[in-house]
């Protein structure tokens, strides 16, 4: 019994020491994870183009590639305001109505792999927006939780006054999530 307690104490001390030494690396690891995610999506898009499943001249390919390149250059250790500018910039590349309709039609004309890649791309933007800030993450989860949605509408007004940047990040993440969901559902 004493040996078990001693072994558990050593194990707990080891985990504590490990978390203390690695704690300062969490932001760097998160940055690398986000960059890796966007690089992987861009590689997958280019592979699908090489396989002939999407044309490099198509509106869908150009829109996705532009979104991914913007994210690759900017993902990682950005502050929330910088992240919002990046996500807004990517949204602006495809969000004006005629361009977005062409983009969406082009993606939906392609096979399921292209549609899933588009969905994953939009989901990666959601993750980028919510992963670095706990308030944005919690507000995003509450906004999407069916039981809390009516209450969140009222809470959103308060949040807009108290933390407008965070509210904007939640709204943008919800936009990316809804678009990604539309591509995944087709």
Q: What is the DSSP letter of 84?
A: H
Model confidence at 13: pLDDT above 80: no
**Pairwise CA distance, residues 36 & 165, whole Å:** 26
Domain carrying residue 73: 26-185
Number of domain units in the chain: 1
* Cβ proximity of 23 and 95 under 8 Å: no
- Asked if 122 contacts 177 with a C-beta cutoff of 8 angstroms, the reply is yes
Measured in whole angstroms, how far is the alpha carbon of residue 48 from the centre of its chain?
Answer: 21
Q: Single out the residue of 164, 108, 113 nearest to residue 135, CA to CA.
A: 164
Is residue 136 included in any domain, yes or no?
yes
The whole-chain average pLDDT of the chain stands at 82
Enter the pTM of the model: 0.77
The rounded distance, in Å, linking the Cα atoms of 141 and 128 is 14
Residue 151 domain flag? yes
Most confident of 9-13, 111-115, 182-186: 111-115
Answer whether residue 6 is part of any domain.
no
Q: For residue 42, give the H/E element and its range.
A: helix 26-50
pLDDT band at 96 (very low <50, low <70, confident <90, very high): low
In a domain, 82, yes or no: yes
Helix 26-50 and helix 59-74: axis angle, to 10°? 160
pLDDT in tens, 125-167: 888 888 878 888 888 888 877 666 777 777 788 888 888 888 8
15, part of any domain: no
Does residue 21 belong to any structural domain of this protein?
no
Q: Is residue 58 situated within a structural domain?
A: yes
């Amino acid at each position: 019994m004493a040996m078990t307690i001693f072994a558990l104490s050593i194990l707990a001390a080891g985990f504590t020491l490990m978390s203390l030494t690695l704690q300062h690396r969490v932001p760097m690891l998160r940055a690398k994870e986000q960059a890796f995610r966007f690089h992987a999506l861009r590689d997958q898009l280019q592979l699908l183009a090489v396989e002939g499943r999407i044309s490099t001249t198509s509106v869908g390919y150009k829109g996705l590639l532009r979104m991914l390149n913007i994210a690759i250059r900017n993902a990682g250790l950005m502050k929330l305001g910088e992240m919002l500018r990046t996500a807004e910039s990517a949204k602006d590349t495809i969000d004006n109505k005629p361009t977005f309709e062409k983009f969406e039609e082009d993606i939906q004309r392609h096979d399921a792999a292209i549609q899933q890649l588009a969905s994953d791309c939009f989901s990666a933007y959601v993750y980028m927006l919510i992963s670095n800030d706990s308030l944005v993450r919690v507000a995003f989860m509450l906004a999407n939780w069916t039981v809390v949605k009516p209450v969140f509408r009222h809470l959103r007004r308060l949040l807009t006054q108290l933390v407008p940047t965070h509210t904007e990040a939640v709204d943008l993440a919800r936009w990316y999530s809804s678009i990604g969901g539309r591509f995944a559902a087709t």
